A and B are shown apart, each in its own frame.
Chain A
């Protein structure tokens, strides 16, 4: 499949996401609201600019970012089952929100999540010298996750029902709470991560050949490790703070890409996975918004898992020999 087709589908999904919703807005009015011209109902303009556009762009950009991080982690660990969650940063976000919400601190969830994520990132940064290999990092992330679940369950045992509900809802993830400013910071990160990955594509290609071999080919291992940890931490911290702990997108998107396209070097994969990530996130959020409109309110993470798990299984089924 041509990546150009995926790009067109992604733009189409973006357009529909902005155009369709519970409030009917005519196409002419929609364009007027977006381009600030023509006769526009003020309420409709607000809905388009402050609700639908931030939500659609956040979905698209977060999907792209998580897809890229998934690719980065799968390359770094040389393991097809790695995803952005393995560093423990998302867990740090959960801990931040748990502390804020369950202890009743006056801190918005997104800020608490950001603080939690960056606390873990700081920990990684301090210990980075000791993270001589991805495996050390993997174990670190795993331990963080265990510790966080323990602390969260302790906090839950004495929390009010209302606080508990807020925390559980945060854990379900959503693109719907993003402000325009948050959507724009995600876009800035997209530029940052995209540029960085393109520049490092050759190192990443070499890395897939093996750690020792990559180093003899001129990849400075310590520097690459440090860059990967920092940029992944930064991007994941912001995305988790804006959207909650999103499951599956990071893990599944590279596999979807590999399913539809002959996988090539990182330069091609970065473009393809970026588009697939955006498309999948928009589709998932489309499902969420549709269930909202019929009063079912499926959580985003549930939709992502329902869509994502069979895809990953199908891909692994078809491609077992590659990973055997």
Chain B
């Protein structure tokens, strides 16, 4: 299911960028780069259906009958979200959080590292551990797209490695991933030094006021820095 944007304008009252038209290929790992304030989060919320676009529409290719982002219940089965910061003050245990979106047994068989935390409350986990739970939950909700907003912001190197592994699992199962981030170095490290068993980046786009511009997936760090301004 390709994720297609057709002349989409995002923003609250004024559009943040020129109209965006793009098709993100299903089954790939896509990176959305942008500086703070470029509108990454707004674009992500719009794609997630939480916020309506000012113009245009967003669809998922689905044969003759494309799915549209304005029906949250149907949309949620195909597009799931991982916020940048794991939620705080949550009385639910890890097993209960997972159960909100499917069977926790399934999540644990896929990600055995979750097992020791099942009966712990989400708020008592470290940020890195909680983020893994949130990714596992999103994978239960949607077999297709996972949208992650600054997923590495609160993770140390080991936490990032776990995250890559989980996303790789998702891609291997035919899913698609979109990462919105300003963390050039993190993305570049992933592109360059990622171990062979971690999925390769399929596309990089830089979001700015003039719209989305593509970057080569083997671009140098200097080229990326320049593109980001």
- Is A213 within 8 A of B83, CB to CB? yes
- Which residues of B lie under 8 Å from residue A258 when comparing CB positions? 91
How many angstroms between the C-alpha atoms of A258 and B101 in the bound complex? Answer: 25
Q: Is B80 an interface residue (CB 8 A)?
A: yes
Q: Is A78 an interface residue (CB 8 A)?
A: yes
- Which residues of B lie under 8 Å from residue A217 when comparing CB positions? 76, 80, 100-101, 141
Pick the contact of A208 from B81, B90, B93 — CB < 8 Å? B90
- Interface stretch (choices A233-241, A262-270, A290-298, A302-310): A262-270
Majority secondary structure, B binding face: mixed
- Which residues of A lie under 8 Å from residue B48 when comparing CB positions? 212, 215-216
Q: Is A220 an interface residue (CB 8 A)?
A: yes
The contact size tier of chain A is: 20 to 34
- Is A213 within 8 A of B87, CB to CB? yes
How many angstroms between the C-alpha atoms of A218 and B100 in the bound complex? Answer: 11
With known contacts A215-B72, A217-B101, A264–B93 Cβ distance under 8 A:
yes
- Is A212 within 8 A of B83, CB to CB? yes
B117 to chain A, nearest CB (A): 15
Pick the contact of B92 from A212, A264, A323 — CB < 8 Å? A264
In A226-278, the 8 Å CB interface with B consists of 258, 262-265, 269
- Is B76 within 8 A of A216, CB to CB? yes
- Is A265 within 8 A of B72, CB to CB? no
Pick the contact of B91 from A206, A210, A212, A269 — CB < 8 Å? A269
- Is B87 within 8 A of A210, CB to CB? yes
How many angstroms between the C-alpha atoms of A262 and B49 in the bound complex? Answer: 35
- Is A78 within 8 A of B93, CB to CB? no
- Is A216 within 8 A of B91, CB to CB? no
How many angstroms between the C-alpha atoms of A210 and B93 in the bound complex? Answer: 16
A300 to chain B, nearest CB (A): 30
Interface centre among A202, A213, A265 (most CB of B within 10 A): A213
With known contacts A80-B89, A208-B87, A265–B141 Cβ distance under 8 A:
no
- Is B50 within 8 A of A210, CB to CB? no
Q: Is A209 an interface residue (CB 8 A)?
A: yes
How many angstroms between the C-alpha atoms of A205 and B99 in the bound complex? Answer: 11
What's the count of A-B pairs with C-beta under 8 Å? 64
Q: Is B97 an interface residue (CB 8 A)?
A: yes
Q: Is A322 an interface residue (CB 8 A)?
A: yes
- Which residues of B lie under 8 Å from residue A210 when comparing CB positions? 83, 87
Task: Find the B residue at minimum CB distance from A212.
Answer: B50
Q: Is B17 an interface residue (CB 8 A)?
A: no
Pick the contact of A216 from B81, B89, B96 — CB < 8 Å? B81
B34 to chain A, nearest CB (A): 18
- Which residues of B lie under 8 Å from residue A80 when comparing CB positions? 89
How many angstroms between the C-alpha atoms of A4 and B83 in the bound complex? Answer: 38
- Is B100 within 8 A of A205, CB to CB? yes
How many angstroms between the C-alpha atoms of A89 and B92 in the bound complex? Answer: 30
Task: Find the A residue at minimum CB distance from B41.
Answer: A212
How many angstroms between the C-alpha atoms of A217 and B97 in the bound complex? Answer: 12
A selection of 16 A-B contacts at a CB cut-off of 8 Å is A202-B100, A205-B92, A208-B90, A209-B90, A209-B97, A213-B81, A213-B83, A213-B87, A216-B49, A216-B76, A216-B81, A217-B141, A218-B73, A258-B91, A269-B91, A322-B124
B residues neighboring A (CB under 8 Å): 45, 48-50, 72-73, 76, 79-81, 83, 87, 89-93, 96-97, 100-101, 121, 123-124, 141
A residues neighboring B (CB under 8 Å): 78, 80, 202, 205-206, 208-210, 212-213, 215-218, 220, 258, 262-265, 269, 322-323
Q: What would 4 more interface pairs be, CB under 8 Å, given A209-B97, A264-B93?
A: A212-B83, A265-B91, A265-B92, A322-B124
